[in-house]
Amino acid sequence: MHKLVFATNNAHKLEEVAAKIKGQIQLLSLDDIGCFDDIAETGVTFRENASIKSHYIHDKFKLDCFGDDSGLEIDALNSEPGVYSARYAGEHGNHEANINKVLAGLKNETNRKARFRTVISLIWNGEEHFFDGTVEGTIRHERSGSKGFGYDPIFQPDGYNITFAEMSLDEKNRISHRAIAVEKLVAFLSK
| Active-site hit among 59, 69, 152, 170 | 69
Structural domain boundaries, residue 74: 3-189
CATH number at residue 40: 3.90.950.10
pTM assigned to the model: 0.91
Distance CA 48, CA 132 (A): 13
Tell me, what's the pLDDT at 20?
Answer: 78
Three-class SS of 55-118: HHHHHHHCCCEEEEEEEEEEHHHCCEEHHHHHHCCCCCCCHHHHHHHHHHHCCCCCCCEEEEEE
Which residues touch 39 (CB under 8 Å, ≥6 apart)? 7, 52, 53, 56, 57, 67
Tell me, what's the pLDDT at 138?
Answer: 98
Active site (annotated) includes residue 69: yes
Tell me, what's the pLDDT at 2?
Answer: 85
Residue ranges of the chain whose pLDDT lies below 70: none
Q: How many domains does the chain have?
A: 1
- DSSP assigned state of 26: E
